[in-house]
Amino acid sequence: MFDLLIKNANLPDGACGVDIAIANGVFTAVEPAIDGDASVTIDAANRLVSPPFIDPHFHMDATLSLGTPRLNRSGTLLEGIALWGELKPRLTHEAVIERALRYCDLAVSQGLLSIRSHVDVCDDRLLAVEALLDVREKVKSYIDLQLVAFPQDGLYRSANAEANLLRALDLGVDIVGGIPHFERTMQAGAASVTRLCEIAAERGLRVDMHCDESDDPMSRHIETLAVETVRLGLHGRVAGSHLTSMHSMDNYYVSKLLPLIAEAQIHAIPNPLINMTLQGRHDTYPKRRGLTRIPEMLDAGINVALGQDCCMDPWYSLGNADMLSVAHMAIHAAQMTSPAQMARLFDAVTVHSAKAMGLDDYGIRKGNPAHCVVLQARDPIEAIRLSATRLTVIRHGRIISETGPRLARLTLEGRPETVDSAQYAPVEQAK
Ligand code: FE2
């Protein structure tokens, strides 16, 4: 007797029509045909059943604050940071929690069940830190929330930033963050990378650094991050987020840099939605895209995970917790249009992101926690193309969100009365 049985599921790896059995919150079998009774049976009807979406780069302390106290007029990263600085003194514990929980509701409905959020520690009150620690506890039954101690105003540029960062880690924040390109000088940026990696090594923590989020081809803190990762033996435990300066770097230099990143097993976390809007703002024409070199990093053996970064905050006025829209933007901005490349970008919001976050028991496999999403699409590429409806979201074997399929009700003679849009995609395109 199973708690839940999903019949006729297509899996992201291309397997078609398999059955998935769930009992006691874990996957107990994933096989071509499973017999047996279940309390709940779902016929996936050859729709895609994916492990949940994962966002490895987000700012939950700022989310849903758009317009408070004003809008970002220039659209730049620097005005966004200044605007966040205006908002910070007005934050209240209750308001941060309320916005974060509202965002988590949206995330669940989008099948987004693991989030790594940076939290600003450049506030002596550590108000946002304490609020998001509360949120991490409140949502743990339905979302894995990792927190990164993020010195938004610079480890060395902001008074008390290092002390506050250490206090945040003492309070239980999971990961060490940084922002070397915002320090006063390149030297100070490099020194901040070294210091922050040493803190992580001393405490046995991971690192996730905002790194080189700039159009300046000489912003090369990722090089220092790779070297310090190797020196301190942090291989596979460090992420470089954004890395946008790589877009503008000299090709010869990049040919040396990518093997260094691969050697350090650094996870790259581009954020295509926000960086397509923030970067190139000082250009006339032609305007740079300002997105990092995703296909080149993948080809170099680097784990590339995509993040959303922002949702209705001082930096970005859109966002909807839909990691498929993140992959969709990456396909366009990085010109990754072949079927194999598009499929890799689906992986970038699922398995690659799980790897970046260190989630070892992720995936639809016997023995893993039963987290999955039934989508109104047949395969990963179709899911991205259609921004597929998350029909059923399952966490620990329990249905935690349901959304009805997109159905057109037609009256044309000779046509079906009800059309499931996802069922009418040409098979050749979906493969
Ligand atoms: Fe960020």
Q: Hey, where are the domains in the chain?
A: 2-51+363-424, 53-357
Q: How many angstroms does the Cα of residue 391 sit away from the middle of ligand 1?
A: 29
- In tens, the pLDDT along 346-388 reads 999 999 999 999 999 999 999 999 999 999 999 999 999 999 9
The pLDDT of residue 428 is above 60 = no
- How far is ligand 1, taken at its centre, from the CA of residue 122, in Å? 15
CA atoms within 13 A on the CB side of 234: 31
Residue 172 sits at the vertex; the CA angle it makes with 164 and 154, to the nearest 5 degrees, is: 30
Confidence check: pLDDT of 256 > 70: yes
423 pLDDT above the threshold of 70: no
Q: Report yes or no: 238 and 222 within 8 Å, Cβ to Cβ.
A: no
Report the catalytic residues. 213
Establish whether domains 2-51+363-424 and 53-357 are of one fold.
no
Tell me the average pLDDT across 415-427: 67
Residue type, 409: R
Q: 209 pairs with which residues across the strands?
A: 240
**Ion ligand 1 residue ranges (Cβ < 5 Å):** 309
Question: In sequence order, what are the beta bridge partners of 394?
Answer: 372, 399
What homologous superfamily does CATH list for 2-51+363-424?
Urease, subunit C, domain 1 (2.30.40.10)
CA distance linking residue 210 with residue 120, whole number of Å: 12
* Integer angstrom CA distances of residue 9 from 45, 99, 111, 349: 7, 35, 16, 20
Is the CATH number 3.20.20.140 carried by domain 53-357? Answer: yes
What is the pLDDT, as a whole number, of residue 77?
Answer: 87
pLDDT at 419 (0 to 100) = 77
* Cβ atoms of 200 and 234 closer than 8 Å: yes
Q: How far is the CA of 255 from the centre of ligand 1 (A)?
A: 26
The SS3 call for residue 67 is coil
The answer to whether residues 292 and 271 touch, using CB atoms and an 8 Å cutoff, is no
Length of the chain: 431
- Would you call 20 helix, strand, or coil by DSSP? strand
Percent of the chain exceeding pLDDT 70 equals 97
pLDDT tens, 174-189? 999 999 999 999 999 9
**262-321 per-position pLDDT tens digit:** 999 999 999 999 999 999 999 999 999 889 999 999 999 999 999 999 999 999 999 999
Q: Whose structure tokens read 């940084």?
A: 178
